[in-house]
A and B are shown apart, each in its own frame.
Chain A
Amino acid sequence: MSRDIGAMVGLPLRDLARGLSAFTPIRGVGAAGLPAPLREALQLVSGVLPDSHPERVPLEGVDAASLAAASDFLSVDGPSDRMEEAFVRVLASAMQMALDQLDGPAIPLSETIATMRLHSGPVAAGVSAERRAARILLDLYRARAFGPMPGLPLPTDPAQDRAVRLAAFAAFAWLLTNREDVVSEERLVLELSVALSVSLEAEVLARFDDPDTLAEMLRSVSAKL
């Protein structure tokens, strides 16, 4: 059912959910005032998108091949379209799990914005995987690809922003670290990446202004995982 709705409107389901999160404040008292078609569409999709954190299998859809391709996307010059697609999908799943661990926003990443930003070229050739990762992370963060939709008439929530930044950092550090022999063990490594990022929270958050120091932090944390 949920996949059908996503396909119907031509958007990844996470992006659809992210857009609908804008309606969350009016879903209760204000929904009655909406035009009938919009109200019905909202009710339809609300039925498959729970109010709080959606119930999902952590790292849903991540297998050894997609994870390897996602990691390669950060480490090779001239990554393929397949690597890019895997990177966005795996990053979205990793962010979902990380944000759940951090009690962050339920909607982790706009795959559409992420793909558009990656096509616009923050990935330079001839740089280390950590520097590439840092540039992409900051570019996606500044483009508001993570967390709730930009442009909503809602105040920025510092707690959500903290969770988004820590989750994104942890997901990138996890993608940069050595892979496990068994993909089912990757969940533990990602969980530990989040935990380690929380332990180093002040240092991690302080590096979001500068890609070079962020790259160094990503190198340090991924090596410790």
Chain B
Amino acid sequence: MPKLAATSPRPIRKAAQSLRWFVRAFEDQAARISEETGVAYQADHTDLARVFAEWRKAFDAQKPRDATDYPAYVGFAAGLVLRTLLQVKPVQVTGLPEGADTTNPAYYWPEGYLYVVFCLNVRGLVLETDFDGHQTPRTDLDDVRTWWSFRENVEEDSALAIAFLEHFAGEDAHWETPEIFHPDRTARIAGRFYAPNLHPLNGTVEDA
């Protein structure tokens, strides 16, 4: 998964709340994926600005006051970005390499792949640089069957993108109420009583 080179003299989580950082980081990510895969992308700045504006509204609406919840909110906020990218669709694929293997997720769904990789990388970067944390993405992220399920589900309900990103990042996903922020402590308490009965990887959420 191509990494992100985005840096800032400010904490990354602060920089990421500015449009210019967001657009530059996104275009940097697209360029890196293009270099590795040969997929050509074209991003529309007006649509990216719309993604950003809608994301900031959603971000501000549930931003926690307690600083101990910030790391958990980073993961949720990254999911909100993914949801909005999938809704607005700011990117077009303008070229695929000849003979591209569509069992590779990067070729099966190039736009979705870019959105997920970008969100995962920003998420990981913020956790690593601002909170001394780390994320361990799931290994099945390379499995095209994962992407079949992901694509089918988010096309029906884009809110599930938030849960899928949590899952891709190696966290316990909140499949039932993905659009509501669950602080860490709430999740820990809830985990004693509730185990998710939805598993998205071998079919749709409804099938699982």
Query: A residues bordering B, Cβ < 8 Å?
Result: 188-189, 191-192, 195-196, 198-200, 224-225
**B45 close to A199 (CB less than 8 A):** no
- Which residue on chain B has the smallest CB distance to residue A199? B53
Chain B positions within 8 Å of A188 at CB level = 20, 23
A70 to B48, CA, bound (A): 28
Chain B positions within 8 Å of A191 at CB level = 45
Report which of B20, B52, B54, B56 forms a contact with A189, defined as CB distance below 8 A: B20
Q: List the 6 closest pairs (A to B, CB-CB), nearest first.
A: A195-B49, A199-B53, A199-B50, A195-B46, A196-B49, A199-B49
Query: B residues bordering A, Cβ < 8 Å?
Result: 17-20, 23, 45-46, 48-50, 52-54, 56
**A195 close to B45 (CB less than 8 A):** yes
A199 to B48, CA, bound (A): 10
**A224 close to B17 (CB less than 8 A):** yes
A225 to B53, CA, bound (A): 10
B200 to chain A, nearest CB (A): 31
- Which residue on chain B has the smallest CB distance to residue A220? B56
Chain B positions within 8 Å of A189 at CB level = 20
Question: What are 25 residue pairs bridging A and B, where the CB atoms are less than 8 Å apart in the complex?
Answer: A188-B20, A188-B23, A189-B20, A191-B45, A192-B19, A192-B20, A192-B45, A195-B46, A195-B49, A195-B50, A196-B19, A196-B52, A196-B53, A198-B46, A198-B49, A198-B50, A199-B49, A199-B52, A199-B54, A200-B53, A224-B17, A224-B18, A225-B18, A225-B19, A225-B20
Chain A positions within 8 Å of B49 at CB level = 192, 195-196, 198-199
* Most central of A191, A192, A200, A225 by chain B CB within 10 Å: A192
Interface SS of chain A? helix
- Which residue on chain A has the smallest CB distance to residue B23? A192
Chain A positions within 8 Å of B45 at CB level = 191-192, 195
Chain A positions within 8 Å of B46 at CB level = 195, 198-199
A188 to chain B, nearest CB (A): 7
B43 to chain A, nearest CB (A): 12
A161 to B49, CA, bound (A): 22
- Which residue on chain B has the smallest CB distance to residue A200? B53
- Which residue on chain A has the smallest CB distance to residue B51? A199
Given contact pairs A195-B48, A198-B49, A225-B19, enumerate 9 new A-B contacts (beta carbons under 8 Å). A191-B45, A195-B45, A195-B46, A198-B46, A199-B50, A199-B54, A224-B17, A224-B53, A224-B56
A189 to B21, CA, bound (A): 10
A224 to B54, CA, bound (A): 12
- Which residue on chain B has the smallest CB distance to residue A197? B49
Chain A positions within 8 Å of B54 at CB level = 199
Chain A positions within 8 Å of B56 at CB level = 224
Chain B positions within 8 Å of A200 at CB level = 53
Chain A positions within 8 Å of B53 at CB level = 196, 199-200, 224
- Which residue on chain B has the smallest CB distance to residue A225? B19
- Which residue on chain A has the smallest CB distance to residue B24? A188
A178 to chain B, nearest CB (A): 8
Chain A positions within 8 Å of B17 at CB level = 224
Chain A positions within 8 Å of B52 at CB level = 196, 199, 224
A188 to B48, CA, bound (A): 13
* Most central of B17, B49, B56 by chain A CB within 10 Å: B49
- Which residue on chain B has the smallest CB distance to residue A193? B19
A224 to B60, CA, bound (A): 12
A198 to B46, CA, bound (A): 8
Chain B positions within 8 Å of A195 at CB level = 45-46, 48-50
A179 to chain B, nearest CB (A): 11
Chain B positions within 8 Å of A224 at CB level = 17-19, 52-53, 56
- Which residue on chain A has the smallest CB distance to residue B47? A195
